[in-house]
Structure 1
Amino acid sequence: MYLSLASGSGFSKVYRTGSRSHKGGITVIQTPRETSPTEVGFVAGKKVGNAVARNRAKRRLREATRRVVLAPGTTYVVIADRGVVDAPFPSIVGWLENAIRDGAVRKRDE
C-alpha cells in the first residue's frame, strides 16, 4: 500500500534529491522520506504518445507497482518510456523491480 504523490513540490524534491535508475522502458527516482508511509508518483510525458497511450502507460505502471515490494519511508517517481505501452506486463514488473533494486543499491553506496 502506498500514498499517491500529487503535489508539484513533491515531484520537484524527488527530482532534485533522488537517485535515478533506468531499466527497460522505466526510470525510477527514489529518495528517503521523513515519515513512514511510502509515496509513489507516475509520469508519462508526451514522448509516450497521445493522451490515451499516456494514461494506459500510467495504469500499467500503477498495477506493476502493486505487485512489487516497496521500501517503507521512501518516495518514488516512476517515469514511463515509449516501450511501456506495448511491452508484456511481466516485463514491466521485472523492469520496475530491477530499477528499484538498483536505485536502492546506488543510494547505499553514496
Structure 2
Amino acid sequence: MSQIERLRKRRDFLAAARASKRAERGLVLQANERGDIAPPRVGFTVTRKVGSSVVRNRAKRRLRAAAAEILPLAAKDGYDYVLIGRQATLTRRWSDLLDDLRLALRTIHAKNGGGTRASSAAPKPASPKDDPHG
C-alpha cells in the first residue's frame, strides 16, 4: 500500500467516533469499517485539553509519523481510522508509541472479526538499548 488517504470531512470523523475504539497510553484509535474495499483512510485530532496549538500540532506530527510507519503494514482496506492524541503522545518513547498503535490496530481488527493484513504488525521485542533499567 502506498499513500493512505486522509479523512477530511466531519461526517467521516463522526462515523469513526460511533464505531470501534481502543485506548492505549499514548493514543486512542477509532476505526470504522466502511463496508467497501477502498484503501484505508486516516484522520488525526488532538483536543484543547492536551495543550496550546503548538503542543497540539506537535502531538499531531507524532501521530502522523507513527501512522506513516505502521498503517501501510497493518491497516485494512475498507476502514477509516482516527488517531486521537493524548497528553502522553508528547512524552511517550517513540518505540512505545508505535507499539501502542500496533496493539490498538490488532485489538480492533480482532474484535471486528479479522486479523491485521501483515504479520509484521506484531510488536517487536524491545531491544536492550531501549530498556532504561538495563
Structure 2 unaligned blocks of 5 or more:
115-134
Q: Return the alpha-carbon distance in structure 1 between the equivalents of residues 37 and 112 of structure 2.
A: 18
Q: Is 1:78 aligned to 2:79, yes or no?
A: no
Which of 53, 64, 67 lines up with 1:65 in the alignment?
A: 67
2:49 aligned counterpart, secondary structure: helix
Deviation of 1:100 after TM superposition, in Å, equals 0.8
Question: What TM-score, normalized to structure 2?
Answer: 0.76
Which aligned segments of 4 or more residues in structure 1 are displaced greater than 4 angstroms? none
Higher relative contact order (CA 8 A, sep 6+): 1
Q: Return the alpha-carbon distance in structure 2 between the equivalents of residues 25 and 47 of structure 1.
A: 15
Q: Return the alpha-carbon distance in structure 2 between the equivalents of residues 79 and 20 of structure 1.
A: 10
Taking the TM superposition and a 5 Å limit, the aligned residue runs for 1:2-81 are 2-16=4-18, 18-33=19-34, 34-68=36-70, 69=73, 70-81=75-86
Q: Return the alpha-carbon distance in structure 1 between the equivalents of residues 41 and 8 of structure 2.
A: 9
- Between the aligned residues of both structures, percent identity stands at 29
Q: Return the alpha-carbon distance in structure 2 between the equivalents of residues 19 and 107 of structure 1.
A: 8
Structure 1 unaligned blocks of 5 or more:
none
- Say what the alpha-carbon RMSD is for the aligned residues: 1.3
2:44 aligned counterpart, secondary structure: strand
Q: Return the alpha-carbon distance in structure 2 between the equivalents of residues 6 and 83 of structure 1.
A: 25
Alignment correspondent of 2:112: 107
Deviation of 1:2 after TM superposition, in Å, equals 0.6
The structure richer in strand per residue is 1
String of CA shifts for 1:25-57, please: whole Å, max 9, x gaps.
211011212241111000100121111110000
Q: Return the alpha-carbon distance in structure 2 between the equivalents of residues 60 and 54 of structure 1.
A: 10
The structure richer in helix per residue is 1
String of CA shifts for 1:44-92, please: whole Å, max 9, x gaps.
0012111111000010000001111211221101111100012111111
2:113 aligned counterpart, secondary structure: helix
1:67 aligned counterpart, secondary structure: helix
Q: Return the alpha-carbon distance in structure 1 between the equivalents of residues 24 and 92 of structure 2.
A: 13
Count of equivalent residues: 108
**Which has more radius of gyration?**
2
